[in-house]
Amino acid sequence: MDDTAAAGYAAGLTTATREIESARLEVAGDIPDWLCGSLIRNGPAQFEVGRDPYRHWFDGLAMLHRFEIGNGGVSYASRWLECEAARTAKAHGRIVYGEYDTDPCRTLFGRVMSAFRPKISDNCNVNVVRTGGTVMAMTETPWRIAIDPISLRSQGRHRADGAAAGQLTTAHPVYDQRRGLSYNSLLRFGRTSWFQLLQIQEPSGETSVLASVETDQPSYLHSFGMSRDHLVLALWPLVVNPLSMLFPGKPFIRNYAWVPERGLRLVVVAKDGGAIVRDTTTDACFGFHHVNAFQDGDLLHVDAVVFADADVVDQFRLERLRSGQPSRATGHLTRFSISLGAGTVKRQRLSAAALELPRINYAQVAGERHRWVYGAGSTGDFIDTVVKIDADSGSARSWHETGCYAGEPVFVAAPDARAEDDGVLLSVVLDAGRGTSFLLVLDAKTLRERARAYAPAVIPFGFHGNFFAH
């Protein structure tokens, strides 16, 4: 890869220089008249405080981005997320709260004191979801920040765990339309640790514990699976000794170790009653993101984006990304078929196409059999492609443009859609040649470009977001 290409995608990993109050964007192409609402995205956008650098893509201070779409037009605004981690960093001129792969306690004294006064970061830079009737910025700690979806102003922070106090959760709650319930996972560290599956009444936000899963060495868990009647924990063999968390000395993720001999533990929990239906193990692998799960007779099929091991965590360290080395940033769509009767597991790669940041038509097929999976793929050095995979046949098609780096594609269904892929995809793309970013609108059936609207600045690479219809 030449230096120009390296400099190109590295632009998405540099600190944003300003907030943008509101900017009307020029649109090239044709945005469907029915597309009316806000795409709100979240992600890291400040990668140093004073002379202190953050070490990992997952560490940077959060910024929210809003594309308001309606009547064929688009406007854009951005705002820093107002949180304690950002306020204290600004006040002290240095990093104060530890993040995913950054430890601000450089001295022995600082590390000892942090064990007695732990600072759990509220830098909610991963996702934006509506839960408990409120739009929330979320991360993997129990803190979440309520935001005004119009102004993007923060409206206070909340604990995600209710009475079931824990240390880690996921930024990917799942929603069951039939039951009117959201679910999330909460990890409680201790001599014996527990993954607790929480159920949240919508829209009240009332939270209770559905089930508890015991573990001696907790796995790193970024998301989990949901079928119509079950929740599935995929406990990858990237694990931590809970005692190491009590005496900080390393960044959070550096306390975890890859132990492949443990295998992948799959725990199936019934939504009704919380009974553990199956607790079984299969060959080791690693993943961040579940796609969906559905039942077919005795088999519970669980789809996720899978990597051979946890080396992908190091692939996203900023030093490596900025060096221009090709990044193994994408995995493969993989199906784990669990026999609920026998407890056996069959593993199958569904497509040769690589992807990450997967999305489906959640409103129509969450927890049910799905066919189409969308994601961000890679043709070379970094994520640069929008991919559509047929989970039935394994075939794939893609959108790609030289010098452009596409992010997560968010599916928005057309009004009265009947087909699973009847709608559009919205992706934020870095155009390295023009030195700015644009909102890309694709036809979800064909991946034909419908429109694009250029923002007035580079939007740093983010992770997740959602479309909120008006």
The model's pLDDT over 63-93, given as tens digits with 9 standing for 90+, comes to 999 999 999 999 999 999 999 999 999 999 9
DSSP 329-343: --EEEEEEEEETTT-
pLDDT mean across residues, the chain: 92
Q: Which long-range contacts (CB under 8 A, 24 or more apart) does 121-124 make?
A: 121/85, 121/97, 122/83, 122/84, 122/85, 122/97, 122/157, 123/61, 123/62, 123/81, 123/83, 123/85, 123/86, 123/97, 123/99, 124/42, 124/62, 124/81, 124/83, 124/171
User: Which residue in 142, 316, 314, 304 sits closest to 238, CA to CA?
Assistant: 314
d(CA 328, CA 131): 33
| Torsions phi, psi for 257 (to 5 deg) | -130, 145
CB 245 within 8 Å of CB 257: no
Tokens 């308001």 — which residue? 68
Task: Tell me which of 133 and 222 has the higher pLDDT.
Answer: 222
Beta bridge partners of 265: 235, 281
pLDDT of residue 165: 77
d(CA 187, CA 206): 19
Residues comprising the chain, all counted: 470
User: Which residue in 409, 412, 445 sits closest to 427, CA to CA?
Assistant: 409
pLDDT of residue 113: 36
pLDDT of residue 35: 98
pLDDT of residue 2: 35
pLDDT of residue 120: 84
User: Which residue in 418, 408, 415, 425 sits closest to 364, CA to CA?
Assistant: 418
| Span 3-469 CATH architecture | 7 Propeller (2.130)
CB 23 within 8 Å of CB 455: yes
CB 136 within 8 Å of CB 145: yes
d(CA 240, CA 159): 23
CB 256 within 8 Å of CB 221: no
| Predicted confidence (pLDDT) at residue 156 exceeds the cutoff of 60 | yes
pLDDT of residue 114: 44
CA-to-CA separations, 282 to 124, 264, 266, 322, in angstroms, rounded: 33, 5, 8, 36
**Rounded to 5°, angle at Cα 466 from 173 and 97:** 65
93 burial (CB, 10 Å; 0-12 / 13-18 / 19+) is exposed
Beta bridge partners of 146: 136
pLDDT of residue 116: 37
| Predicted confidence (pLDDT) at residue 107 exceeds the cutoff of 50 | no
pLDDT of residue 6: 46
d(CA 246, CA 236): 22
| Predicted confidence (pLDDT) at residue 374 exceeds the cutoff of 70 | yes
pLDDT of residue 20: 97
| Torsions phi, psi for 403 (to 5 deg) | 80, 5
Peptide bond preceding 203 in cis form (omega within 30 of 0): yes
| Predicted confidence (pLDDT) at residue 1 exceeds the cutoff of 50 | no
Reduced to 3 states, what is the DSSP secondary structure of residue 148?
coil
| Predicted confidence (pLDDT) at residue 332 exceeds the cutoff of 70 | yes
CA-to-CA separations, 48 to 62, 199, 419, in angstroms, rounded: 12, 37, 46
d(CA 171, CA 455): 27
Round to the nearest angstrom and report the end-to-end CA distance of the chain: 44
- Which of 156-160, 260-264, 356-360, 432-436 has the lowest average pLDDT? 156-160
CB 459 within 8 Å of CB 437: yes
DSSP category for residue 10 = H
Relative to beta strand 193-201, strand 207-215 is: antiparallel
Query: Hey, what are 378's tokens?
Result: 């890679």
Cα diameter, the chain: 62
Reduced to 3 states, what is the DSSP secondary structure of residue 215?
strand
Is the Cα dihedral 254, 256, 260, 266 positive or negative? negative
d(CA 364, CA 292): 12
Q: Which residues have C-beta within 8 Å of that of residue 364, sequence separation ≥ 6?
A: 413, 417, 420
